Chain A
Amino acid sequence: MKKRVSLLLLGTVTASLLAACGSSETTNTSGGTSNTTEPVGEAKQKVVAWAWDRAFNGGALDIAKELYAKDHPGFELEIVDMAKVDLEQKLNTNLASGVKGGLPDILLVNDPNIQKYVASYPGTFAEFTNKVDFSKFSPFKVDALTVDNKVYGVPFDIGVTGMFYRSDYIEQAGFKAADLENITWDRFIEIGKVVKEKTGKYMITMNPNDESLTSILLQSAGSWYITPDNKGNFVDNPAMTETLRVYKAIADAGIAKPVTGWSEYVGSFNSGDVATVVSGVWQVTGIMEAKDQSGKWKVAPIPKLNIDGAVNASNEGGSSWFVLEGSANKEAAMDFLATTIGGSSEFYERFLKEKGGVGSYIPAFSSEAYSQTSDFFGGQAIYTDFTKWSKEVPGISLGMYTQEAKDSLKNELPNILNGADLAKSLANIQKLFEQQVQ
């Protein structure tokens, strides 16, 4: 009986495998035919875009569409919004199954995924190298989009970081705004101890399940979890050693409020429990959520690491727009993106004014929209500052295995915080990472 069942199972598996092989041929041929049909250019075919966050990213496309439609009447765009993880799941299923049908023309991609996508699915994404003047964008953003000297996609929003702080808490502790400008992390910890003592407030939040702080620190020193050739970058990396030393020092100083999730993190500063938030520029919206704290916030550059080459600027997050090479509306989609998000100062001005989004398009930085002052931030022209810092952000290659490297680090982080030997821990992380990506 058992034998027969296993035979039967084997039969089914073989049959399904054969079926899969057969269908791959047919899909290839159908893909071939769709490739030979001429791209319709500016015809009235609908361009479809996948993005997460309908209000923010979808809203940006709405602005771009409005601008584009002025010269291209009849241009139609459908935005399909879904959660970021859902989008990635859908894309992977679609690409892995080799089915071209149902894929969009335009796609939003989180920057750390760029290299992975381009390397895993070669020939799938359209190249923008000569379609957009990339010298007009912040270099670090273009670096993230570059694979083998080819640029895939149009740079979109960035997460240039700043240290948001509660000026009232800082003053109460006896410091002035100037005391927070361009400091080191060691100085930050000293100030934090005084703030904790005098106001009872924590200096910063710390989430052991989230790598955003270590990522910010690493990039501020021009380093990353992995090297450009996708090797682990934990051992013999002064930036990594210093990052983890600072991380542990912040934890040891007792100035960090532990949080476990995103809403708790946002809640900690919305309810006034912490004096500073080190985060990307997009956090402005989250901070302004607490309307009762208007006028109490300010932004300073982030503290820097105490090593050569480290600066007071970094980046957290950001995404870019891709076009699928095989899409029927490829030319229309590429032209649409290149002329709006890839080259319109007006787009970035409206994107900031209407959505609070910051891009890396340098010509827009001198516009009126970017120099406006904010009453919430005590009359500070925050976007002028952020864009100034964005030009200093060190460019890095995010590589293919950022997530795996982060996971390896996360695994060892509790030991580091408990005082394990750092060199040994780093060797452990390196080993774990190599096991994972092999």
Chain B
Amino acid sequence: MKKFGTGAIHFFLITVSIVSLFPFAWMLIGMTNSSAEVIKGKFSFGAEFSNNVAKLLEMTNLGTAFWNSTLIAVVGTIATLILSSMAGFGFEIYRTRGKDRLFGVLMLSMMMPFAAIMIPLFRMFSKMGLLDTPAAAILPSITTAFMIFFFMQNTKSFPRELLQAGRVDGLNEWSLFARVYMPTMKPTYAAAAIITFMNYWNNFLWPLIALQSQDKKTLPLVVSSLSSSYSPDYGVIMVAIVVTTLPTLLIFFLLQKQFVQGMLGSVK
């Protein structure tokens, strides 16, 4: 019975793995084929890779887009982590009147679809003169209710004795946060970093609206633009998608261990 169980589980997991890995395989194979071959569904490596790369570099300003995406994602992630973790720390550690209510309102903001706030947001950034700058792509998601909630939940398992000990040793609240809380919560930060980085990196709608000139575009905008041509070159698009996917993949593999730990809670 038990044997049958593991067999079934293996079968199930293998099937699911194939299903989830197929798009990656398709992407990598498509990258080496010509557009016509991709359309015909050729599922073997071809000889068009260098050709596709050359065409992509000629058709788009890939370097600039990559730099824009990196800048926005890295600066955005660091800022989000610092601010959201401070908020999560504060919500959990300190006792103030009305804190729960404030948090309730914050949670409500999670229910607001982005499309509803897009136009007011656009006007705001226009008034601040920040449209078409990386700041426009970074600022709106610099604190999210989800991230604050995530840090708050993880802080619940943070041993307060450490804070007491720190206070006794004469640390002020800022140093407590920076020198006691942050190092202890590393896995939580890692998990949050992956989620935030992916959100910034893949964010499409808002950068599309807020960024206007050609040399401010991020990678997803470039990919979208490529795929909308009358005769899309699928080989070239595959290369662009691989370039767009690699950094998130890399970050995930680098932080994988911490990510899993972070999801389980930093402090056991």
Contact = CB atoms under 8 A, between A and B. Distances in A.
Interface residues of B, number: 37
A89 B209 contact: yes
A129 B150 CA distance: 59
A54 to B, nearest CB: 6
A290 B38 CA distance: 12
Interface string B59-76: 110000000000000000
A99 B122 contact: yes
A1 interface: yes
Contact of B214 (A53, A81, A266): A81
B125 to A, nearest CB: 9
Interface string A177-209: 000000000000000000000000000000000
B32 to A, nearest CB: 18
A267 B36 CA distance: 8
B225 interface: yes
A56 interface: yes
Interface stretch (A32-40, A281-289, A299-307, A337-345): A281-289
Interface string A42-68: 000000100011111000000000000
A211 interface: no
Contacts of B35: 289
B230 A270 contact: no
Contact of B39 (A48, A102, A263): A263
Interface in B195-230: 205, 208-209, 212-214, 221, 224-225, 227-230
Interface stretch (B101-109, B165-173, B255-263): B101-109
Contact of A82 (B39, B123, B131, B225): B225
B126 interface: yes
Given A23-B123, A98-B123, A267-B41, A53 B131 contact: no
A80 B61 CA distance: 12
Contacts of B221: 82, 86
Interface in B19-71: 35-36, 38-41, 59-60
Given A263-B39, A270-B36, A20 B105 contact: no
The A contact surface, by secondary structure, is: helix
A238 to B, nearest CB: 33
A54 B60 CA distance: 9
Contacts of A428: none
A4 B108 CA distance: 13
Contacts of B225: 52, 54, 81-83, 86
B209 A90 contact: yes
Given A54-B225, A86-B221, A8 B105 contact: yes
Nearest to B117: A16
B126 A271 contact: no
Contacts of A102: 126, 131-132, 212
A240 interface: no
B234 interface: yes
A229 B38 CA distance: 44
A94 interface: yes
A335 B104 CA distance: 57
Given A285-B231, A286-B231, A80 B213 contact: yes
A97 interface: yes
Contacts of A285: 230-231
A54 B59 contact: yes
A270 B214 contact: no
B212 A80 contact: yes
A197 to B, nearest CB: 26
Contacts of A89: 205, 208-209
B249 interface: no
B208 A86 contact: yes
A80 B214 contact: yes
Nearest to B58: A55
16 contacts: A1-B101, A27-B127, A52-B228, A53-B229, A54-B59, A80-B212, A83-B228, A86-B224, A90-B209, A94-B122, A98-B123, A99-B123, A267-B39, A282-B230, A290-B36, A291-B36
Interface of A: 1, 4-5, 8-9, 16, 19-20, 23, 26-27, 48, 52-56, 78-86, 89-90, 93-94, 96-99, 101-102, 263, 266-267, 270-271, 282, 285-286, 289-291
Given A27-B127, A90-B208, A289-B39, 19 more contacts: A5-B104, A19-B120, A26-B127, A80-B213, A80-B214, A82-B224, A83-B225, A84-B228, A93-B209, A97-B123, A99-B126, A102-B126, A102-B132, A270-B39, A270-B40, A282-B230, A285-B231, A286-B231, A289-B36
Q: Which 7 A-B pairs have the closest CB atoms?
A: A83-B228, A53-B229, A99-B126, A267-B39, A83-B224, A102-B212, A97-B119
